[in-house]
Amino acid sequence: MESLFNFSTKMLESERYNNEDLKQALAILKQGGIILYPTDTVWGIGCDATNDEAVNRIIHLKQRAPEKGMISLIDQPGLLNLYLEKIPDMAYDLWEVSDKPLTLILTGGKNLAKGVITNDGSMAVRITEELFSKTLCQRLRRPLVSTSANISGEPTPRDYTQIDDQIIKGVDYVVEYRRNDVIPATPSGIIKLGINYEIEVIRK
């Protein structure tokens, strides 16, 4: 997995985050709060993906239909078996060959908040290699919700300056790291793997 998303990690290695900023974000997450933070793609609203109350707060803030589920970030593939009944080999292959962050929708989600898993029992997951979000996942020791920082149906913000005040005021902590980064970000690709390994490209 070392080759995953090198473009993002190399870009950010010179931008070391502030440890106090990380500690503040982590403390909020552990208390069941929600944060606004930079990810390996666009800015995201995040919480402990196993915390029902926190997930419901994000659903309410985004005015999002709860049955849609939400993307979760993890920091290493070895954790996948804790949250999925079965991981097809094809999933690892797709992550390995992807040249940008890739979210996979996989069947058999488990041990996560109800609002993270969709009505059909699948979950959307991405392995982050971005510095800040990866470290958050490591220290939280839980999957981290990563849903775009916008009201449902509104355009996805491409940098911090485009995030609506309603979102900023609705979270418990706004991360300082990368607020001044104005390089336009793009959402991840999304591929759904069916129960019989059918492939459906949701977003390129």
Q: Using an 8 Å Cβ cutoff, are 83 and 137 in contact?
A: no
**Distance, CA of 74 to CA of 143 (rounded, Å):** 5
d(CA 59, CA 83): 20
**Overall domain count for the chain:** 1
Please list the pLDDT of the chain residue by residue as tens digits (204 residues).
Answer: 444 444 344 444 445 789 999 999 999 999 999 999 999 999 999 999 999 999 999 999 999 998 899 999 999 999 999 999 999 999 999 999 999 999 999 999 999 999 999 999 999 999 999 999 999 999 999 999 999 999 999 999 999 999 999 999 999 999 999 999 989 999 999 999 988 888 999 998
Residue 171 falls within a domain, yes or no?
yes
Q: Is residue 1 part of a domain?
A: no
Q: Which pTM does this prediction carry?
A: 0.90
Q: What is the CATH number of the domain that holds 129?
A: 3.90.870.10
Phi, psi of 72, deg, nearest 5: -120, 145
What is the β-pairing status of strands 35-38 and 144-145? unpaired
* Spatial contact of 158 and 32, defined as CB atoms under 8 Å apart: no
In-domain check, residue 43: yes
Write out the residue range of the structural domain in which residue 95 sits: 6-77+86-199
Q: Could you tell me if residue 62 is inside a domain?
A: yes
Residues 6+ positions from 165 with CB-CB distance below 8 Å? none
The answer as to whether 204 is a domain residue is no
Residue 193 lies in a domain: yes
